[in-house]
Amino acid sequence: EITPEYVVQLTEATSNFLCPLSANTYGIEFVYFKVRDLESGMVLFEVQSEGETASTEPAIDDDQVRTVKYHLGPDFLKLRALGSTIEFTVGSKEVRNFRMIERHYFRNTLLKNFDFTLDFCIPNTRNSWEVIYEIPELPEDLLQQMIDNPWETRSDSFYFVQDQLIMHNKAEYNYSPLI
């Protein structure tokens, strides 16, 4: 069993997903995501799902739907604090102690661990959750390596309900100049 204690001890991004899509027995679905620079208030990106329609098709257990790639450019690395707004829907079961552990790595070096908890979500609701990311100051040589090696900066986002892993998503980042 994958526990929060296990994931916070990982020393590099995972090569595989640590749970199947079917582990999400709470019917949690992310429907909106916005990231903004807290200093300027500028929205850096915003994504909304295509609509909340129930499908009669069986869910496809495709790992590609759980991996996102972001080409952010080198200026992104100068930001010190980000606000992330996440909206999600909950299925027919209540959600207690919804915990997100997000770990960011460059190659096999942990850059930062973020750990957020939402105490309770009512069944059959749409919820909004804003989290604040304090960005660590990194050495200039490491920042340059991150710029020079696109897609080698990665993150794992683990979602737990009452310490049971129900979702695992991944992201890859490119900080090379935007064209």
DSSP code per residue over 37-65: ETTT--EEEEEE-S-----SSPPP--GGG
Q: What is the pLDDT of residue 51?
A: 61
Residues 6+ apart with CB under 8 A from 32: 46, 47, 48, 49, 85, 86, 87
Q: State pTM to two decimals.
A: 0.92
User: Minimal CA–CA distance to 86: which of 2, 173, 161, 159?
Assistant: 159
Flag residues of the chain having pLDDT under 50.
53-58
Q: What is the pLDDT of residue 63?
A: 76
Q: Are 167 and 148 spatial neighbours (Cβ–Cβ below 8 Å)? A: no
Q: What is the pLDDT of residue 61?
A: 53
